[in-house]
């Protein structure tokens, strides 16, 4: 009877198989093979809750059967119970070291848990057993991509295609990896191959849309996203990215509707919420934009913590690598806020915890190198690390944010006559707006993004304030000869450590870059430096964003061949540098005084699209 049931099962006759499996179990309720196969049948039909007790009973009846344990792990993984799934996979692997599918399944669960480095090790284990395991090669490529090991990811995915040239999924994944590497033409070819092999592959159409957006072929990108949505109406990323393309096409009403559809599918996605906020920025609806950006920040980082939360301190948060200079900043900021009244005095013991951790580090520990804290040390700070402790208001300036005495005519003339376009202006903001913005940067606990020696606060982190958006709006209104129809696309602030240097050479993907400084001049010990170095060479138009933001060697070669002396703009408080955004630039050498309020802070605003600048 069991053999007959299995024959129906293999032939796809699910109802006949189910009836026979039930008859076997009526006669022998503990029949391990029948329990297992009936559970697999339900799992294959997507009935995971029904499959789980059957597979659990089968594994209990045959606790040394590695296949039973692995299939049970697959169902637990599908139900989101990843730690339980991993326990089953580890046990199965110890029982059967020659089955490549078991470490492959473990790696799959680890990727789902957001642990790509561990996943990579398991996929490599599967491939050591069976080098031609195509799905393991594909998943290895994706895990490597998540680790930022892009070249290795591309190589793994090419190997997957060498195993099976007709694997549409592998072509689609390779397209994503090639996009990350900046090889956009190859990425497009790989994704078109994926949709040719499997025209109903919704994700491949959506991924193709992403590449076409990067190539500025927005109408084609729109068509690709719509094809993905026709195939899978609940593909949230396709709706969201369609919204981004429509925004760039100037169709902001349709863009908002697309992103709202994505949010209806995934209401807790902070990126989609922030994208909707930027669409409302483009629609000049500042109030709605701020509400969206505030909601995005709350989704990413949670609500402000009250002292009572510190007393409870029970929240389990997985340990993350932390940079010592970030710990130093947070300790200093908490001390500052306790002194200034921004935080209850009870937060002082949190500062003490940070200081205790710092004191225990080796004296020669590089401040910018992330470390993994021991469990006991992590427990000291886990409730507050990268959480909003104090979120002050930064309202718009009633008398205007920009200095009313700015000579707009002269600024625009200098812009027009400079080649490349670059203008430096002092006394940029009104006195009240400058002080309010600086105090917000000192007080707001929004410095979540840890860079190489500096911290970042983005719109989605809580830097989306009425004052910041007012500055952007007034720039466009006061200097139409520079900004034209360019809208604000991104805005952030960076805060630096006096022991470390700033941002390496790079270019930004926009039309116009606005960079200004807010820390008092007294903090800078060298008035001739500390500002910005701008090269006069534009990033090549055929380079992808990732190339001119990360490929240091290629940028250095290009700048050496381009020649020309860079422009060095010394640091001054309330000085703004406005320049073509795709000019290569870097932070000048820094020599700022120690002390929390002396940290160098710059604000950057990006306007428009690089392709718009090229046709302006």
Give the fold, CATH level 3, of 408-614: Jelly Rolls (2.60.120)
What pLDDT shows up at residue 615? 41
What pLDDT shows up at residue 561? 86
Task: Give the three-class secondary structure for 429.
Answer: strand
Cite the DSSP H helix spans in 115-217.
116-129, 134-146, 150-163, 168-181, 184-197, 202-214
Q: What is the pLDDT of residues 519-558, one digit of tens each?
A: 999 999 999 999 999 999 888 877 766 666 767 888 888 8
Q: How much is the average pLDDT of 324-330?
A: 96
Q: What is the pLDDT of residues 357-372, one digit of tens each?
A: 999 998 888 999 999 8
Percentages of the chain per state (helix, strand, coil), in multiples of 5: 60, 10, 35
Structure tokens at 576: 């703004």
Kindly tell me if the per-residue pLDDT of 616 is higher than 50: no
For the segment(s) 2-248, the CATH number from 2.40.37.10, 3.40.710.10, 3.90.79.10, 1.25.40.10 is: 1.25.40.10
Between vectors from CA 445 to CA 342 and to CA 343, what angle results, nearest 5°? 20
Strand partners, 514: 578, 605
Q: How much is the average pLDDT of 282-287?
A: 94
What pLDDT shows up at residue 610? 75
Between vectors from CA 102 to CA 100 and to CA 107, what angle results, nearest 5°? 100
pTM score:
0.86
Q: What is the pLDDT of residues 125-168, one digit of tens each?
A: 999 999 999 999 999 999 999 998 999 999 999 999 999 999 99
Select from 601, 612, 57 the least CA-distant residue to 329. 601
- How high does pLDDT run on average in the chain? 93
The domain ranges of the chain are: 2-248, 320-381, 408-614
Q: What is the pLDDT of residues 229-248, one digit of tens each?
A: 999 999 999 999 999 999 99
What pLDDT shows up at residue 383? 87
Structure tokens at 469: 């958006």
CA distances from 233 to 80, 223, 264 (A): 23, 14, 12
Select from 280, 218, 245 the least CA-distant residue to 488. 280
Q: What is the pLDDT of residues 9-25, one digit of tens each?
A: 999 999 999 999 999 99
Is 184 in contact with 214 (CB distance < 8 Å)? Answer: yes
What pLDDT shows up at residue 410? 97
Kindly tell me if the per-residue pLDDT of 613 is higher than 60: no
Task: Report the distance separating Cα 157 and Cα 167, nearest Å.
Answer: 11
Q: How much is the average pLDDT of 72-83?
A: 92
Confidence of residue 308 (pLDDT cuts 50, 70, 90): low
Instruction: Report percent pLDDT > 90 for the chain.
Output: 83
Q: What is the pLDDT of residues 494-505, one digit of tens each?
A: 999 988 989 999
Q: How much is the average pLDDT of 302-307?
A: 80
Is 380 in contact with 353 (CB distance < 8 Å)? Answer: yes
Q: How much is the average pLDDT of 34-60?
A: 95
């Amino acid at each position: 009877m069991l053999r007959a049931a299995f024959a129906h099962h293999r032939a796809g006759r699910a109802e006949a198989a189910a009836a026979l499996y039930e008859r076997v179990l009526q006669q022998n309720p503990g029949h391990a093979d029948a329990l297992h196969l009936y559970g697999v049948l339900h799992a294959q039909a997507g009935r995971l809750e029904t499959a789980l007790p059957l597979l659990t009973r089968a594994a209990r009846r045959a606790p040394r059967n590695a296949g039973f344990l692995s299939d049970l792990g697959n169902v637990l993984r599908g139900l989101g119970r990843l730690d339980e799934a991993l326990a089953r996979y580890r046990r199965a692997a110890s029982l059967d070291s020659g089955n490549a599918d078991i470490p492959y399944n473990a790696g799959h669960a680890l990727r789902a848990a957001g642990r790509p480095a561990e996943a990579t090790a398991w996929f490599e284990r599967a491939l050591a057993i069976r080098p031609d395991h195509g799905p393991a090669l594909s998943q290895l490529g994706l895990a490597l991509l998540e680790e930022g090991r892009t070249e290795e990811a591309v190589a793994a995915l090419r190997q997957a295609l060498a195993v099976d040239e007709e694997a549409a999924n592998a072509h689609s994944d390779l397209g994503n990896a090639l996009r990350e590497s900046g090889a956009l033409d190859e990425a497009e070819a790989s994704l078109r191959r994926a949709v040719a092999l499997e025209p109903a592959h919704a994700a491949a159409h959506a991924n193709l849309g992403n590449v076409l957006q990067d190539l500025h072929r927005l109408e084609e990108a729109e068509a690709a996203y719509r094809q993905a949505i026709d195939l899978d109406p609940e593909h949230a990323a396709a709706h969201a990215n369609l919204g981004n393309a429509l925004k760039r096409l100037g169709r902001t009403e349709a863009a908002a509707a697309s992103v709202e559809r994505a949010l209806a599918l995934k209401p807790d996605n902070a990126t989609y919420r922030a994208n909707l906020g930027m669409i409302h920025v483009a629609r000049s609806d500042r109030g709605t934009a701020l509400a969206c950006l505030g909601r995005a920040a709350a989704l990413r980082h949670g609500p402000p913590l009250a002292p009572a939360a510190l007393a409870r301190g029970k929240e389990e948060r997985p340990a993350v690598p932390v940079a010592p200079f970030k710990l130093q900043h947070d300790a200093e900021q908490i001390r500052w806020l306790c002194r200034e009244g921004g935080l209850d005095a009870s937060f002082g013991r949190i500062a003490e915890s940070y200081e205790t951790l710092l004191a225990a580090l080796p004296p020669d520990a590089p401040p910018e190198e992330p470390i993994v804290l021991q469990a006991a040390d992590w427990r000291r700070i886990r409730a507050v690390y990268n959480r909003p402790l104090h979120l002050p208001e930064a309202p718009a300036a009633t008398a205007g944010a920009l200095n009313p005495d700015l000579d707009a005519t002269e600024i625009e003339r200098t812009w027009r006559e400079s080649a490349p376009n670059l203008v430096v202006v002092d006394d940029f903001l009104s006195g009240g707006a400058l002080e309010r913005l600086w105090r917000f940067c000192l007080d707001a606990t929004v410095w979540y993004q840890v860079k190489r020696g500096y911290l970042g606060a983005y719109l989605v982190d809580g830097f989306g304030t009425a004052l910041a958006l007012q500055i952007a709006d007034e720039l466009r209104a006061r200097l139409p000869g520079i900004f034209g129809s360019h809208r604000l696309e991104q805005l952030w602030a960076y805060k630096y450590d006096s022991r470390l240097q700033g941002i390496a050479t790079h270019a930004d993907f926009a039309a116009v870059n606005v960079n200004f400084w807010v820390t008092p001049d007294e903090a800078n010990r060298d008035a001739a430096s500390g500002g910005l170095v701008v090269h006069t060479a534009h990033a090549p138009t055929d380079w992808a964003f990732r190339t001119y933001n990360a490929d240091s060697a290629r940028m250095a070669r290009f700048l050496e061949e381009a020649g020309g002396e860079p422009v060095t703009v010394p640091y001054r408080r309330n000085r703004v540098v406005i320049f073509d955004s795709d000019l290569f630039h870097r932070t000048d050498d820094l020599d700022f005084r120690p002390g929390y309020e002396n940290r160098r802070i710059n604000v950057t605003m990006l306007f428009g699209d690089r392709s718009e600048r090229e046709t302006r």
